[in-house]
Structure 1
Amino acid sequence: MNDADLLRYLINAVQKEGQKKYAEFLAPLGITPNQSEVLQVLSKKEPLSLKELGNLLICESKSPSRLVQRLVQNGFIYKSKAIDDNRKSVLHLTSKGRELIPSIKEKENLFNAYNLSSLSDTIDIKTFISVLRYQITGTESEQKIEKRMKIDSSLT
């Protein structure tokens, strides 16, 4: 196996194993990592249309409609008509969804600490972030991350 193949497989494996580990952290809350992302995005910038939400999600490259439908069924979010356009549906957190946000944040912080501690003895985190950011330069994923960073910075 050449280095390019190994790198590709390692990146895929790290993503897969990271998602599994994060799912373990979230399991007591009864939600998946992707559902967690939807709830957190909505908590920071609601109401959002399905398309607007999809433009902010890193976990979904296509329409998040099935993901959203499951959250509606579980009572975490609800749909309503947009105030400015009666034809457009928008998504909101329910009180049940809003109550879950602090617990999600707590699990996310634990997972983040786990990730940082497992890497910090091996590589400078800022350097690693720079390398990863370089790999997604000019992509839709980069645009989504930039949008999310702007939302997060506007809340602080």
Structure 2
Amino acid sequence: MDNGTRFRYIFRSAEKEAMKKFSTALSSLNVTPNQSEVLLVLYENEPVSLKELGELLICEQKSPSRLVQGLVEKGLIYKGTSQSDARYSVLYLTKEGKEIVPKIIEKENEFDKELAQFLGKNIGLEQMMSILKEYLKGTNSEKKLKMRSIWE
């Protein structure tokens, strides 16, 4: 097996394991990592249409309607009409959704700190991000990261 293939499987496995750990960290809040991203994007940008949400999400390549439906069922977001054009529906956080976001941010910060410490001991966080950003140049992922001010 060549090194490119080995790297691909190792990288994918590391991402999978990181998401498992993050999922465990969020389990007490009864949200998944993907659902937490939806809530955070809404918190930073509400109201947004389903299409606009999809353009901002990293976790979902297609329509986020399934994710949104799950959060509507949990009472964390709701669909309303746009104030600028009543023909369009937009998404808002509910009171419960707004209350859970700071808890998500706390869990996310704890997880990110642990990940950064691990990378810092082994390769250097800045070096790793630089390598990955170079790989992502010119992709839709780069565009999404820039739209959310994550790329910097």
TM-score w.r.t. the length of structure 1 is: 0.94
After superposition, residues 3-152 of structure 1 pair within 5 angstroms as: 3-149=3-149
Supply the distance in 1 between the matched residues of 2:21 and 2:99 (Cα, whole angstroms).
Answer: 23
Supply the distance in 2 between the matched residues of 1:142 and 1:12 (Cα, whole angstroms).
Answer: 18
What amino acid is the match of 2:84?
Answer: D
> Any gaps of 5 or more consecutive residues in structure 2?
none
Q: Secondary structure at the match of 2:122?
A: coil
CA displacement at 1:86 relative to structure 2: 1.9
CA RMSD of aligned residues (A): 1.4
Supply the distance in 2 between the matched residues of 1:133 and 1:96 (Cα, whole angstroms).
Answer: 35
Give deviations 1:66-87, integer Å, cap 9, x for gaps: 0000000100000011122222
CA displacement at 1:15 relative to structure 2: 1.2
Q: Secondary structure at the match of 2:113?
A: helix
Supply the distance in 2 between the matched residues of 1:106 and 1:3 (Cα, whole angstroms).
Answer: 37
What amino acid is the match of 1:128?
Answer: M
Supply the distance in 2 between the matched residues of 1:86 and 1:121 (Cα, whole angstroms).
Answer: 53
TM-score w.r.t. the length of structure 2 is: 0.96
Supply the distance in 1 between the matched residues of 2:47 and 2:140 (Cα, whole angstroms).
Answer: 22
CA displacement at 1:118 relative to structure 2: 1.3
> Any gaps of 5 or more consecutive residues in structure 1?
none
What amino acid is the match of 1:8?
Answer: R
Number of residue pairs matched by the alignment: 152
**% of aligned pairs identical?**
48
Give deviations 1:113-134, integer Å, cap 9, x for gaps: 1101111111121111000001
Supply the distance in 2 between the matched residues of 1:72 and 1:60 (Cα, whole angstroms).
Answer: 17
CA displacement at 1:93 relative to structure 2: 0.2
